[in-house]
């Protein structure tokens, strides 16, 4: 997990807002797909369309440009449709990253053992 940050967002959404949210997310995913330092960016939903998780993985230098440049134009509509209930951040963060993610109630976890292939 060196030089990488993973994050897991747990969102709540009203099922009747899911189609509008899905349409917005498609635009966000398209914009995010152009970021060179974003390596994973996936949304998953439960059967009732009331819980959404976002699984993100960045090279460390890619997280702030995603939040500040790519996501910002969508943020107001996104947060009108979904509530961020939990945010877990894995990896070695910087003070700038923490300053940005603290506003979302981030819980930071630092790796101490394991591997990725």
pLDDT of residue 19: 98
- 114 vs 2: which has the higher pLDDT: 114
Confirm whether 9 is domain-assigned. yes
Handedness of CA 26, 14, 76, 54 (dihedral sign): negative
In a domain? residue 86: yes
Q: Kindly report the pTM of this predicted structure.
A: 0.93
Q: Would you say residue 73 lies in a domain?
A: yes
Give me the DSSP letters along 1-49: -TTEEEEEEEEEE-GGGHHHHHHHHHHHHHHHTT-TTEEEEEEEE-TTS
**In a domain? residue 115:** no
How do residues 22-45 score in pLDDT, each as one tens digit? 999 999 999 999 999 999 999 999
* Domain boundaries, position 39: 4-109
Q: Is residue 116 part of a domain?
A: no
- Asked if residue 114 belongs to a domain, the reply is no
**For position 32, which CATH number holds?**
3.30.70.100
A 10 A CB-CB count for 17 gives 15
Q: How many domains does the chain have?
A: 1
């Amino acid at each position: 997990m060196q030089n990488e940050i993973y994050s897991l967002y747990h969102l709540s959404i009203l099922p009747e807002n899911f189609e509008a949210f899905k349409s917005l997310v498609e635009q966000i995913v398209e914009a995010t797909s152009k970021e060179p330092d974003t390596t994973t960016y996936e949304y998953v939903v439960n059967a009732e369309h009331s819980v959404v998780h976002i699984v993100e993985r960045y090279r460390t230098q890619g997280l702030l440009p995603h939040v500040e440049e790519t996501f910002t134009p969508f943020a107001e509509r996104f947060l009108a449709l979904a509530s961020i209930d939990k945010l877990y951040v894995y990896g070695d963060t910087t003070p700038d990253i923490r300053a940005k993610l603290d506003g979302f109630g981030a819980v930071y976890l630092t790796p101490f053992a394991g591997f990725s292939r």
